């Protein structure tokens, strides 16, 4: 396989709290290969969004990378560690080579500028195109993301567009400089399902046509199954299971992954059969248990789980961070 | 079968705004049988929340009736309505904004009891303790404030509050949408337990058809203020008859990569409720729209026992052999 676009190694991120500091990411490692989609999946507080912000160099002021590396392979083939990049280097990369789309298109777009101006600004920052060429390119982008009547929409303000339309604008804005890496953080979570289907379809088509790699951050296992080539399941700041998408869904082996899948109402479930929820809640970051963070909610937990656990090979291209990987949970 | 607890008849709600009249709910009619959970499904702007509030008369309807246990709520005086309200409660979507941050949990749960002058201080505290345990929390949680709880726990507090007046009917408006899936499953199971234990009748409003199919006995699908399909959960989910229900179901991402992901993708957005399409409201996005669909609002077509599709082409499109 080609060299990875992104190779994250033992990434640690901590946030300063009032008196102490809390660890939000604990030794997170993953790789993303060219033209592929890696899904980071997890619930609130799992660290999936913190991972993406660390890659973009957009951690809030009280957060910092405290260990590990983010090796990024630029289009010219040079590899650099983004954790060591200067602010100006990151600024030059963001939007040009690495682009990001967020959950809430309304709060990511500036309400005071037309969508044409906002997409055009990316070209102004990262290319030598003149005003006429920029407008032409913006128009092409709006057509590419299937905005109807793009020529008149280009002068609209964000509030004049529907939620689905705004997310299309966000995608146009992210893709206008033809980035090699697109980070999509819950891009369809705020949208209705029929609009979500449109946007996922659009993203798949753009990836086929433009060949970018996608780091797809989501809480929705259904979206993962549709979009991802590879999956990393996160829980409480660490990756607990990592595999190719078909392998992961065929043989989920970490008790958390299984619990997550058992919590989803699936079509064709036998009538009257109850969902099996994961008991309890995620422990707060400042009160993480020693050893496996999932142990307090896990039906398989025993003495061994008090020791720290890290990802190890479970099957070819399938890694699980659990001493009891693959064992059936016998629920009470 | 006994008389349904609720009979909704031709309920409509229009809001007059400076930009025109919003047709939020138009001509909704359905029954909610006693002890059943009815799911009301639709996307943003479908009118499901307005319908939920209008049938409780939290919003005054423009037309139509809600017959609750034989009484038409819309003809009741203020004091009669107040008494009737004890028997029906609502649980909201957002467990953060629906709980007063300055009240302790005990006061939040017993506020309704105080308002209706039920019991004394001590008996109300006992009640709060019992309710907290019933929803899977602990009695000693009652002296805490809402911010000390997680999202799932806060939603349980909202449920305990709704149960305090021993209602017969509960409207749950997107009550699990803001929760993580593992917590969502806990709350769904809690609602099923409560229904069994208390023989509650529920209207569960949600945008997620899979969740609704899991929880509900009957499903009503809305689009742009109108009912488009209603029927028992299983048949409606496994064999939807209205083109909109079909599109909605096919849009749900299924956690199984081996599944065929080809689907009916609806083009465009939901039209404005200020100016809904004439005839069938779905026709502007419907893959099967024909000239006939512009003429007159479709009447319900019976496609199975208690199963109706509001589509003029139902029989023609899904003729069963």
Name the strand (E) or helix (H) holding B13: strand B6-17
How close A272 gets to chain B, by Cα (Å)?
Answer: 9
Check if A43 contacts B (Cβ < 8 Å): yes
**Confidence check: pLDDT of B95 > 60:** yes
What average pLDDT does range A1-5 have in this prediction?
A: 82
How far is the C-alpha of A264 from the C-alpha of B214, rounded, in Å? 10
Name the strand (E) or helix (H) holding A203: helix A193-210
- The model's pLDDT over B204-258, given as tens digits with 9 standing for 90+, comes to 999 999 999 999 999 999 999 999 999 999 999 999 999 999 999 999 998 888 8
Q: What is the pLDDT of residue A283?
A: 86
Q: How would residue A269 be classed by pLDDT, with cut points 50, 70 and 90?
A: confident
**Confidence check: pLDDT of A330 > 80:** no
Torsion, Cα A18 A20 A21 A26, to 10 degrees, reads -140
Q: How would residue B320 be classed by pLDDT, with cut points 50, 70 and 90?
A: low
- The model's pLDDT over B51-71, given as tens digits with 9 standing for 90+, comes to 999 999 999 999 999 999 999
pTM of the model: 0.91
**Confidence check: pLDDT of A1 > 70:** no
In sequence order, what DSSP letters do the residues of B158-191 get, joined into one string?
HHHHHHTT--SEEEEESTTTTS-HHHHHHHHHHH
Measured between beta carbons, which residues in chain A are less than 8 angstroms from residue B266? 194, 197-198
Mean pLDDT of chain B: 92
Measured between beta carbons, which residues in chain B are less than 8 angstroms from residue A249? 255-258
In sequence order, what DSSP letters do the residues of A160-185 get, joined into one string?
GS-HHHHHHHHHHHHHTT--SEEEEE
**Confidence check: pLDDT of B21 > 60:** yes
Q: What is the pLDDT of residue B129?
A: 96
What average pLDDT does range A187-207 have in this prediction?
A: 91
Measured between beta carbons, which residues in chain B are less than 8 angstroms from residue A44? 151, 180
CA end-to-end distance (rounded Å), chain B: 31
- The model's pLDDT over B29-50, given as tens digits with 9 standing for 90+, comes to 999 999 999 999 999 889 999 9
Domains of chain B (ranges; CATH) run 6-34+42-86+202-317 (3.40.50.300)
What average pLDDT does range B157-175 have in this prediction?
A: 95
- The model's pLDDT over A57-86, given as tens digits with 9 standing for 90+, comes to 999 999 999 999 999 999 888 999 999 999
How far is the C-alpha of A172 from the C-alpha of A265, rounded, in Å? 34
How close A46 gets to chain B, by Cα (Å)?
Answer: 11
Three-state SS string across B54-71, please? HHCCCCCCCEEEEEECCE
8 Å CB contact of B189 and A277:
yes
Q: What is the pLDDT of residue B319?
A: 66
Helix (H, G, I), strand (E, B) or coil at B101: coil
What average pLDDT does range B115-129 have in this prediction?
A: 94
Q: What is the pLDDT of residue B22?
A: 94
ipTM metric:
0.87
Instruction: Select from B250, B261, B270 the Cβ nearest to the Cβ of A226.
Output: B261
What average pLDDT does range A177-192 have in this prediction?
A: 92
8 Å CB contact of B237 and A267:
yes
Q: How many Cβ pairs within 8 Å bridge chains A and B?
A: 123
Q: How would residue B321 be classed by pLDDT, with cut points 50, 70 and 90?
A: very low
Mutation to test the A interface, candidates B156, B181, B228, B252, most A Cβ within 10 Å: B181
Measured between beta carbons, which residues in chain B are less than 8 angstroms from residue A268? 238
Q: What is the pLDDT of residue B261?
A: 67
Among A327-331, B92-96, B124-128, which range has the highest average pLDDT?
B124-128
Q: What is the pLDDT of residue A332?
A: 43
Backbone angles phi, psi at A287, to 5 degrees: -130, 40
Q: What is the pLDDT of residue B259?
A: 77
Instruction: Select from B211, B263, B267 the Cβ nearest to the Cβ of A265.
Output: B211
């Amino acid at each position: 396989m080609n060299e990875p676009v992104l190779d994250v190694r033992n990434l640690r991120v901590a946030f300063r709290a009032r008196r102490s500091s809390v660890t939000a990411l604990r030794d997170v490692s993953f790789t993303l290969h060219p033209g592929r989609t890696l899904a980071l999946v997890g619930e609130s507080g799992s660290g999936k969004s913190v991972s993406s912000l660390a890659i973009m160099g957009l951690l809030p002021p009280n957060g910092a990378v405290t260990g590990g590396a983010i090796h990024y392979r630029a289009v010219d083939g040079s590899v650099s560690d983004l954790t060591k990049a200067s602010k100006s280097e990151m600024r030059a990369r963001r939007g040009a080579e690495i682009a990001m789309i967020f959950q809430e298109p309304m709060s990511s777009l500036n309400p005071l500028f037309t969508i044409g101006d906002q997409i055009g600004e990316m070209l102004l920052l990262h290319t030598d195109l003149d005003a006429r060429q920029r407008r032409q390119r913006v128009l092409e982008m709006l057509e590419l993301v299937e905005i109807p009547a793009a020529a008149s929409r280009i002068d609209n303000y964000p509030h004049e567009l529907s939620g689905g339309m705004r997310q299309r604008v966000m995608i146009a804005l992210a893709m206008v400089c033809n980035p090699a890496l697109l980070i999509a953080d819950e891009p369809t979570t705020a949208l209705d399902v029929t609009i979500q289907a449109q946007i996922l379809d659009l993203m798949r088509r753009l990836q086929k046509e433009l060949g970018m790699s996608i780091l797809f951050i989501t809480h929705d296992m259904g979206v993962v199954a549709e979009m991802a080539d590879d999956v990393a399941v996160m829980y409480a700041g660490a990756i607990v299971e990592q595999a190719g998408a078909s392998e992961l869904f065929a043989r989920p082996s970490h008790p958390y992954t299984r619990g997550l899948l058992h919590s989803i109402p699936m079509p064709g479930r036998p009538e009257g059969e109850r969902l099996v929820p994961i008991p309890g809640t995620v422990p707060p970051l400042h009160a993480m248990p020693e050893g496996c963070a999932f142990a307090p909610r896990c039906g398989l937990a025993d003495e061994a789980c008090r020791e720290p656990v890290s990802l190890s090979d479970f099957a070819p291209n399938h890694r699980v961070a659990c001493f009891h990987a693959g064992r059936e949970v016998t629920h009470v | 079968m006994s008389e349904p607890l609720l009979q909704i008849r031709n309920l409509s709600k229009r809001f007059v705004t400076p930009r025109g009249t919003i047709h939020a709910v138009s001509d909704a009619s359905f029954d909610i049988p006693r002890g059943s959970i009815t799911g009301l499904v639709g996307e943003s702007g479908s009118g499901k929340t307005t319908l939920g509030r209008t049938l409780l008369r939290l919003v005054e309807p423009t037309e139509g009736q809600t017959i609750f246990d034989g009484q038409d709520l819309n003809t009741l005086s203020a004091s009669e309505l107040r008494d009737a309200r004890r028997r029906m409660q609502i649980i909201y979507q957002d467990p953060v904004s629906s709980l007063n941050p300055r009240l302790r949990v005990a006061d939040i749960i017993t506020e309704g009891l105080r308002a209706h002058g039920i019991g004394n201080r001590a008996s109300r505290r006992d009640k709060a303790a019992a309710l907290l345990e019933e929803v899977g929390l602990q009695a000693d949680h009652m002296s805490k404030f809402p911010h000390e709880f997680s999202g799932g726990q806060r939603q349980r507090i909202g449920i305990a509050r709704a149960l305090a007046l021993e209602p017969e009917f509960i409207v749950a408006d997107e009550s699990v949408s803001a929760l993580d899936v593992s917590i969502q499953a806990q709350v769904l199971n809690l609602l099923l337990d409560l229904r069994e234990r208390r023989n509650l009748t529920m209207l569960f409003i949600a945008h997620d058809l899979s969740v609704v199919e899991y929880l509900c006995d009957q499903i009503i699908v809305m689009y742009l203020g109108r009912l488009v399909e209603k029927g028992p959960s299983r048949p409606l989910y496994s064999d939807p008859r209205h083109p909109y229900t079909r599109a909605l179901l096919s849009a749900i991402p299924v956690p199984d990569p081996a599944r065929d992901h080809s689907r009916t993708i609806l083009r465009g957005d939901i039209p404005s409720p200020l100016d809904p399409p004439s005839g069938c409201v779905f026709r502007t996005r419907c893959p099967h729209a024909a000239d006939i669909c512009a003429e007159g609002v479709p009447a319900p077509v019976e496609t199975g026992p208690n199963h109706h599709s509001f589509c003029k082409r139902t029989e023609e499109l899904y003729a069963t052999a």
